[in-house]
Chain A
Amino acid sequence: MAALKLRLPASPVENSLEGRAFVFSGFCVAVLAIVLYGQDYVVPAAGVAATAIGHVVSYLGRARKRSMLGQALLASLVFAGLAYFLADSVLALFGGVLPQANFAIALVAVTSFDLKTRRNCYSSLWISLAILYLAAVYAWDYPFGILVGLWAVCLAGFWVASHLRRMGARLSAPPAALAAVVLGTLAVGLAGFVLIPQPTSLAPSPVVVSLPNFVSFKGELENPALPLVQLSGDPSGATSTIDLHYRGRLGDSPVMYVRTGAPAYWRGLVFDTYQGGVWTTSKRGFLEMQPYIPPRLLPPAPPNNLGTFVQVFRVLRPLPGVINAAYPIQSLYAPVTSLREDSYGTFFTPDLLQPGQTYSVVSYLPNLTANELKNEPAANAAQFIDPIYLDDGALSQQARSLALTAVGGHTATEFDEVMALTNYLQTNFRYSQQLGHVPAGRDPVDWFLFDVKIGYCEQFATAETLMLRSLGIPARLATGYSTGTYDPVLDQSVVREHDAHAWVEVWFPSHGWVPVDPSPGFSALAATQFPSHWAAGGIARLIPHLEIGAPLGAIGSLGLVAVIPVAVAIAVLVVFAWAWLRTRRRRGRGGTKAGPCESELLRLYERVQRKLGRRRAPPETPLEYLSGASPGPVLGVLEQVTDAVNEGAYAGRWPDPNVVRGLADRLS
């Protein structure tokens, strides 16, 4: 049996200085992305410096043979990097911001001392791409596209510098075809721009939910950090309000990063009183507490608790001193002088939270599935001590009858009632962040339910809360942030301005406050669940920003307009397929394609070489290879194949398929 050879084909030594410059630039672009989006500075700066030195060293030494000692040193440095990665990520020894990115940067820095061949240079570029990917997890803006483009330019530049130079070829393209491609691409882009629904005022287009929309959007409340809530100076937070007549600006900038074991809603302030379009709180007391709040000072675990999970919040911009976290909380630590807890279980810090500040929370994970909640009969709902949660005084008679219609026939359990109303709101009303002004004198809830039928989270949540109360189910309004962009690989969420959210908390006597989300495009039962890392959904989320479009539920409210993007995509595909078929047919007619025997013969020639155990060296001519071949049964075939190859390659007379087949038969 022949010895198994597992050797990569040789890669040429990279002599192009420009090519190496492109490799280094590609790395710099990736590091720039880490600096901009990961806000990590020390390791990237050191990495760039070390890599620059490494490039110089490896360029000067490219002609030298690799030494055993040098390779061993490099390998040990790579393992040292790996050890750092484990120490920083698993054990959190260094408190690194982005241990995986730092590890990749260290890897590039170490290997840059050994960039001898073209393959090494490509490896360096691919690691840069991985670094870029890590930065992409945090990026949510168009400038990131510029960085990706720059990296692609570096890759193309390296390809040109390395391959074309070596082949002695020059880039040339037919100008007409080139112009057609450029103009065609522009036309397709233009058509997409015109035809795909854009965020305009009152446009029913949830497609823009995840797209940057700050251009056409102007909010009255310039409070970017907690956009939905008007905060007062009251330390209890009790005088903060939500006024449905106004709204805040919802941009795309990240507000905080959350390292978490499960994606959840990050709950902040809770409101219980609604009057004249304004939500306020009725309870004003608060407790002063230590910055570390152990479990014993907090309510006990819910009876149906599944476990706990940890969240670490890193604040990216000045935030009001509200601790947003998954609810209910088991224990909490924030690096401040003291904490306050209000009557609704929300915690406050004495000052603004500053960029770079972190706090960590351990939360319970109550078992709040549909099956579990269905056990509670509807009649139990009103057994509640505080009547403020049943106050529906602000709701019009029209809205009350609408609530009754919505839940008609689903009154067996409290859960059925809640879900019936939630589904009714989700399917019959449209979600839009572009909302006009409430006319003077009109109740905002009535205006939403009966006039425009368009709203965003505040309208939906307010309407649902009041309608539930009218049905005798205690409910209140919760605000905070929705999960944000959750990456199951990094166990991290990026929470942005536009993730600011409002939802409903419904009282189930044996389960406590259960989050319910009536906004279209969100899961109706908003309880936290552990992420499914391995399910298809989880894998799809590995690709950053795949979910540009809206959830299916939201698309349903679009109507026929939702067909347009799909139709454009299909049209583009059809045009491309047609063009491809056309060129294929033309090529077939022109007869410029290589004769089939050429490939077959050359493949046969390769086979003979493999059989002989020695490949033809690049400077060797077929005849020289033949004269160097060892005698044996294959030699006879090699002689004939060599003659045929010479005749084909240098006289243009490729043999008949039958001849090639005959030779192949003789070989085997």
Chain B
Amino acid sequence: MSASQEQTLEPQRAAELLGRIEENVHLVIVGKEHVVRLAITGLVAGGHVLLQDLPGTGKTMLARALATSVGGTFRRIQCTPDLLPSDITGSSIFNQKDLSFEFIPGPIFANVVLADEVNRATPRSQSALLEAMGEGQVTVEGTTRTLERPFFVIATQNPTEFHGTYPLPESQLDRFILSAEMGAPTDAEAMEVLARRERGDPISQLSGVVDLGDVLELQDACLRVVAAPAIRTYIVSLLQGVRARPDVLLPASMRSGVYLQRAAQAWALFEGRDFVLPDDVKLLAGPVLAHRLSMRGRAKADEMVQALVASLPIPPLRQH
């Protein structure tokens, strides 16, 4: 590793790298700038992202395009009710030639993993996946194997009202740094999608624009973005605000506050800033907090968080 690589990444350079990834992903994904940026934020923040929407809205395409753009290995786990934990982590099989057990790594051993329709897997398989997400390592047959960095999981999930789903428990939802909804495309976007697919699938021509080292540097730069005391105050009051809402059954965890700060740090890099603004926190509060809140009745967590963010005073500008 040369001396220049050890130096910290300039915020401007980080913004430029991120711009390149974004641009590349948009070769495949039409529109959805916000969701794309959220997904990249999750990657830079070193977390994992949950995409929720109906089938066929481009969740898988986004995951694949992102994986290709950063040039890492990409594996996909199609979750079904009969998926076993060993199908995710891999298992040892007996090698007749050497008369020994040989470990065949599962799809989890990759830089970018797409866990498609994660809520169709049984809770047992889900927890195997989520353990790997939380610890960055898997334990198979008594041997602990570390996963290569960067390790980034994009899980997609169908809305829970669908048949044959096992909703993720709250503790496991809590492990995703943020969650986003793809949303239906506009008419113009739909026409653009059709136009691009006329001569085949554009993803086959997609190539990497940054390498894994750049991603690690971006993750490093993210940690060096300053979150001022005022920002911390703001996040804490936000969590307290959520706790005080009468329609919240399960309040926001401490981990969600940590994730909110980290995601805001990553988001600041997009604009070449080395400090977090309350605007970043406001923008990310919904994606980071909403999916892990358990609401009473039919109340919508996302709407509640938006209303809270709109009414909660930001900390005073004067620090002394």
- Which A positions have Cβ atoms within 8 angstroms of B? 168, 592-594, 598-599, 602, 605, 618-624, 645-652
Contact B312 A652 (CB under 8 A): no
Asked whether any CB of chain A lies closer than 8 Å to the CB of B284, the reply is: no
Q: What band does the interface of chain B fall in when counting residues whose beta carbon is under 8 Å from A?
A: 20 to 34
Using known A-B contacts A650-B231, A651-B228, A652-B228, determine if residue A605 contacts B275 with beta carbons closer than 8 Å: no
**CB distance A651 to B226 under 8 Å?**
yes
The residues of A that contact B277 with a CB separation of less than 8 Å are 621, 623, 646, 650
List 21 contacting pairs A-B, 8 Å CB cutoff, sorted by A.
A168-B240, A593-B320, A598-B318, A598-B319, A598-B320, A602-B317, A602-B318, A605-B317, A618-B314, A619-B309, A619-B312, A621-B277, A623-B277, A623-B279, A645-B317, A646-B277, A647-B275, A649-B228, A650-B230, A650-B231, A651-B226
Nearest CB in chain B: distance from A618 CB, A:
3
B117 at the interface (CB under 8 A from A): no
Which B residues lie within 8 Å of A618 (CB)?
313-314
B282 contacts the other chain (CB 8 A): yes
Question: Residue-by-residue, is B284-320 near A (CB-CB < 8 Å gives 1, otherwise 0)?
Answer: 0000000000000000000000000111111001111
As a 0/1 sequence over residues 211 to 239 of chain B, the CB contacts with chain A under 8 angstroms (1 = contact) are 00000000000000010101100000100
Cα–Cα distance between A620 and B314 once the two chains are bound (Å) = 7
**In the bound complex, CA of A652 to CA of B320 (Å):** 11
Give the distance in Å from the alpha carbon of A383 to the alpha carbon of B228 in the complex.
97
Residues of A within 8 A of B276 (CB): 650
Residues of chain B lying within 8 A (CB to CB) of residue A651: 226, 228, 274-275
Q: How far is the CA of A618 from the CA of B311 in the complex (A)?
A: 8
Q: Closest B-chain residue to A620, C-beta based?
A: B314
Please tell me if the beta carbons of A619 and B310 are within 8 angstroms of each other in the complex: yes
Kindly list 19 other residue pairs between chains A and B, CB separation below 8 angstroms, not including A602-B317, A649-B317, A651-B228.
A598-B318, A599-B318, A602-B318, A605-B317, A618-B313, A619-B310, A619-B313, A619-B314, A621-B277, A621-B278, A623-B279, A624-B279, A645-B317, A647-B275, A649-B230, A650-B230, A650-B276, A651-B275, A652-B228
Q: Which of B231, B278, B320 contacts A594 (CB 8 A)?
A: B320
Task: Specify which chain A residues have a CB less than 8 angstroms from the CB of B313 in the assembled complex.
Answer: 618-619
Q: Distance in Å from the Cβ of B142 to the closest Cβ of chain A?
A: 48
Given contacts A618-B313, A618-B314, contact A650 B320 (CB under 8 A): no
Q: Is B319 a contact partner of A649 (Cβ separation < 8 A)?
A: yes
Give CA–CA (A593, B318) in the complex, Å. Answer: 12
Closest Cβ–Cβ distance, residue A567 to chain B (whole Å): 40
Q: Contacts of A619 on B, CB cut-off 8 Å?
A: 309-314
**When A and B form their complex, which 8 residue pairs have the shortest distance between CB atoms, in order from nearest?**
A618-B313, A594-B320, A651-B275, A621-B278, A649-B317, A650-B228, A623-B279, A621-B279
Bound Cα distance from A619 to B311, whole angstroms? 6
**A648 to B275 alpha-carbon distance, docked (Å):** 10
Minimum CB–CB distance from A620 to chain B (whole Å) comes to 7
| Least CB separation from A618: chain B residue | B313
Looking at the assembled complex, report how far the CB atom of A583 sits from the nearest CB atom of chain B, in whole angstroms: 16
> With A and B bound together, what is the CA distance between A623 and B278 in angstroms?
9
Are A621 and B226 closer than 8 Å at their CB atoms? Answer: no
Q: With a CB–CB cut-off of 8 A, which chain B residues contact A649?
A: 228, 230, 317, 319
Chain A residue numbers with a CB within 8 Å of B311 are: 619
Report the Cα distance A349→B314, complex, angstroms: 75
Closest Cβ neighbor of A606 among chain B residues: B317
Q: Contacts of A646 on B, CB cut-off 8 Å?
A: 277
A619-B311, A621-B314, A649-B319 known; A168 and B237 CB under 8 Å? yes
B320 — nearest CB in chain A belongs to which residue? A594
* Residues B240 and A652 in contact, CB atoms below 8 Å apart: no
Interface residues of B in 83-137 (CB under 8 A from A): none
Whole-angstrom distance between the alpha carbons of A651 and B310 in the complex? 23
Q: From residue B228, how far is it (CB to closest CB) to chain A in Å?
A: 5
In contact, A650 and B318 (Cβ under 8 angstroms): no
What's the least CB distance linking A650 to chain B, in Å? 5
- Residue of A619, A624, A646 contacting most chain B CB atoms (<10 Å): A619
Q: Is the CB of B314 within 8 A of A650?
A: no
Rounded to whole Å, the gap between the CB of A320 and the closest CB of chain B is 68
Contact with A along B257-285 (1 / 0, CB 8 A): 00000000000000000111111001000
Chain A residue with Cβ nearest B282: A621
A325 to B: closest C-beta gap in Å: 64
Closest-CB distance, B185 to chain A (whole angstroms)? 27
A651, B319: Cα distance in complex, Å: 11
Residues of B close to A168: CB separation below 8 A: 237, 240
* A residues less than 8 Å from B230 (CB atoms): 649-650
The smallest beta-carbon distance between B167 and chain A, in angstroms, is 33
Bound-complex Cα distance A651 to B273 (A): 10
- Given A594-B319, A619-B310, are A650 and B237 neighbors across the interface (CB < 8 Å)? no
Bound Cα distance from A621 to B313, whole angstroms? 9
Complex CA gap A623/B277 in Å reads 9
State how many angstroms separate the Cβ of B62 from the closest Cβ of chain A. 28
Give the distance in Å from the alpha carbon of A622 to the alpha carbon of B314 in the complex: 10
Given A168-B240, A621-B279, decide whether A652 and B226 contact each other with a Cβ distance below 8 A. Answer: yes
CA distance A599 to B318 in the complex (A): 8
Contacts of A623 in B (CB 8 A): 277, 279
- Which residues of chain B are near A602, meaning CB under 8 Å? 317-318
CB pair A650–B312 under 8 Å, yes or no, is no
CB distance from A624 to the nearest CB of B (A): 7
Min CB gap A649→B, angstroms: 5
Q: Nearest Cβ in chain B — how far from A337, in angstroms?
A: 73
Give the distance to chain B from A602, nearest Cβ to Cβ, in Å.
Answer: 6
Q: Which residues of A sit under 8 angstroms from B275, Cβ to Cβ?
A: 647, 650-651
B274 contacts A650, CB within 8 Å? no
Q: In the complex, what's the smallest C-beta–C-beta distance from B122 to chain A, in angstroms?
A: 44
Chain B residues positioned under 8 Å from A648 (CB to CB): 317
Highest count of chain B CB atoms <10 Å: which of A602, A649, A652? A649
The residue in A168, A602, A650 that gathers the most chain B C-beta atoms within 10 A of its C-beta is: A650
Q: How far is the CA of A645 from the CA of B313 in the complex (A)?
A: 17
* Docked complex Cα distance between A411 and B193 (Å): 125
**Centre residue among B226, B310, B312, B319 by max chain A CB count within 10 A:** B319
Chain A residue at smallest Cβ distance from B315: A649
The CA-CA distance from A622 to B319 in the complex, in Å, is: 15
- A334 to B275 CA separation, bound complex (whole angstroms): 85
Cβ of B295 to closest chain A Cβ, rounded Å: 22
> Measured between C-beta atoms, what is the minimum distance from A610 to chain B in Å?
16
C-alpha gap A599/B319 in the complex (Å): 10
Distance between A587 CB and nearest chain B CB, rounded to angstroms: 11
Cα–Cα, bound, A648→B320 (Å):
12
Quick one: closest A residue to B318, CB to CB?
Answer: A602
CA distance A599 to B230 in the complex (A): 17
The contact string, 1 if C-beta is below 8 Å from chain A, for chain B 13-41, is 00000000000000000000000000000
CA distance A598 to B314 in the complex (A): 18
Q: Considering the chains assembled together, what is the distance between the CA atoms of A624 and B309 in angstroms?
A: 13
In the bound complex, residues from chain A placing their C-beta under 8 Å from that of B318 are 594, 598-599, 602
The complex places the Cα of A593 from the Cα of B282 at a distance, in Å, of 30
User: In the complex, which residues of chain A have a beta carbon less than 8 angstroms from the beta carbon of B279?
Assistant: 621, 623-624
List the A residue with the shortest CB-CB distance to B275: A651
Residues on the B chain within 8 Å of A650, using CB: 226, 228, 230-231, 275-278
Residues in A with CB closer than 8 Å to B231 are: 650
A592 to B237 CA separation, bound complex (whole angstroms): 26
Set of chain A residues within 8 Å of B320, measured between Cβ atoms: 592-594, 598
Chain B residues within 8 Å of A592, by CB:
320
Smallest CB–CB gap between B278 and chain A, Å?
A: 5
In the bound complex, CA of A649 to CA of B278 (Å): 10
- Residue on A with the closest CB to B236? A168
Across-interface contacts of B310 in A (CB, < 8 A): 619
B210 CB → nearest A CB, Å: 26
Specify the chain B residue showing the minimal Cβ separation from A653. B275
- Least CB distance from A510 to B in Å reads 77
A473 to B240, CA, bound (A): 89
> For the complex, what is the distance from the CA of A622 to the CA of B280, rounded to whole Å?
12
- Once bound together, how far apart are the Cα atoms of A328 and B190, in whole Å? 109
* Residues of chain B lying within 8 A (CB to CB) of residue A598: 318-320
Give the residues in chain A near B309, CB-CB below 8 Å.
619
In the complex, which residues of chain B have a beta carbon less than 8 angstroms from the beta carbon of A652? 226, 228, 319
